[in-house]
Amino acid sequence: MSLRGIVPPDPQTNVSQERFAVIFTPRQNRKRFPAGCVEIFDTHEAAVAAADPDNKRHAARVVGPSKSSEGQFIYYLINWLE
């Protein structure tokens, strides 16, 4: 995983970590998503099962949450899941 442009996870806490998620987004060309658009799941399988691309809900692997320079909590996209 390349951490370029991503706040790396803190190894001493579980605040910002790699997670499976479903992201509500009309476009899949972004790399950062507000926490309000991200639903976290325990497993890869659960995220893929909850995805609904026809309704703009895409399964992904993310890192976060991190606080942006604007003061919002965001998640960084690692990759989209199939």
What is the residue range of 48's domain?
Answer: 17-80
Query: For 33-79, what is each residue's pLDDT tens digit?
Result: 999 999 999 999 999 999 999 999 999 999 999 888 888 899 999 99
- 3-class SS of residue 37: helix
Q: Give pLDDT, residue 70.
A: 87
- DSSP character at residue 52: B
Q: Which residue has the higher pLDDT, 45 or 13?
A: 45
How many domains is the chain built from?
A: 1
Whether 47 is in a domain gets the answer yes
Q: Give pLDDT, residue 11.
A: 56
Whether 52 is in a domain gets the answer yes
Task: Say whether pLDDT at 26 is over 80.
Answer: yes
Whether 58 is in a domain gets the answer yes
Task: Say whether pLDDT at 13 is over 60.
Answer: no
Whether 9 is in a domain gets the answer no
Whether 12 is in a domain gets the answer no
Whether 64 is in a domain gets the answer yes
Q: How many CB atoms lie within 10 A of CB 57?
A: 16
Which pTM was predicted?
0.81
